[in-house]
Chain A
Amino acid sequence: QQQVKQSPQSLIVQKGGIPIINCAYENTAFDYFPWYQQFPGKGPALLIAIRPDVSEKKEGRFTISFNKSAKQFSLHIMDSQPGDSATYFCAASKITGGGNKLTFGTGTQLKVEL
């Protein structure tokens, strides 16, 4: 049972475009939503994270939008670059009592073309 659903599975955009990756969760106890970026042959690395007390968080060219009532959150990459080509995973966990166990989405392979 997939508690965090992620789409699309793959995405190709042109340099400068704004790829958007969407995630939906089921467990209303989740209150921490990180995005991880993974390059080929490497482990995932934290990119940006949000808690449900805010609807948007920006860090550089990366923005998370969060809709608590719809139980959805999304990652936007502004002015995308070829170096952003990677696999992106959304995740969710419970801050209190969750022990930092992450439930991951299925991943999105992003390719940014010149």
Chain B
Amino acid sequence: DAEITQSPRHKITETGRQVTLACHQTWNHNNMFWYRQDLGHGLRLIHYSYGVQDTNKGEVSDGYSVSRSNTEDLPLTLESAASSQTSVYFCASSNRDGGTEAFFGQGTRLTVV
């Protein structure tokens, strides 16, 4: 069965360190997204990609970057982790057409100390 997996599931890092969260999907979807989930804010879009070599900034992109070198993977990098980036991060993928289902990973809980 097709799926979308995130790793690690939990991570603790120190302020100022670079951190990369992995996202891998086997749906062969063109669209991939990174959201962060915080109480009182719901899910907010960080970055997204519509295909290989395509990346775009979302609503809360400061301090984050992504790269898309193949269809399956969209790693999210925190250049210099800050306590404000403590959150639960979700990766999602969908096919190219609008108005279709987005499939989410299980999430990565990141704590910056």
Q: Identify the A interface with B (CB < 8 A).
A: 4, 6, 9, 31-32, 34, 36, 41-46, 49, 51, 89, 93-107
Contacts and interface: CB of A to CB of B under 8 A. Distances in A.
A46 B98 contact: no
Given A96-B98, A98-B98, A100-B102, A106 B42 contact: yes
Nearest to A102: B102
Nearest to A46: B101
Contact of B105 (A9, A43, A51): A43
A59 to B, nearest CB: 13
A51 B90 contact: no
Interface stretch (B44-52, B60-68, B69-77): B44-52
A101 B99 contact: no
B98 A44 contact: no
B33 A44 contact: no
Given A43-B107, A44-B104, A51 B42 contact: no
B48 A101 contact: yes
B84 interface: no
Nearest to B104: A43
22 contacts: A4-B42, A32-B99, A42-B106, A43-B90, A44-B90, A45-B104, A46-B101, A49-B101, A94-B98, A96-B98, A98-B98, A99-B31, A99-B50, A100-B97, A100-B100, A101-B45, A101-B48, A101-B58, A102-B33, A102-B45, A104-B43, A106-B41
A97 B97 CA distance: 9
Contact of B106 (A4, A6, A41): A41
Contacts of A89: 42-43
B33 to A, nearest CB: 7
User: Which interface residue of B42, B44, B106 has the most chain A CB atoms within 10 A?
Assistant: B42
A96 B101 CA distance: 15
Chain A CB count within 10 A is highest, among B48, B97, B104, B105, for B104
Contacts of A94: 98
Contacts of B35: 104
Nearest to A107: B42
Cβ-closest 6 pairs across A and B: A43-B104, A95-B98, A95-B99, A32-B99, A104-B42, A106-B42
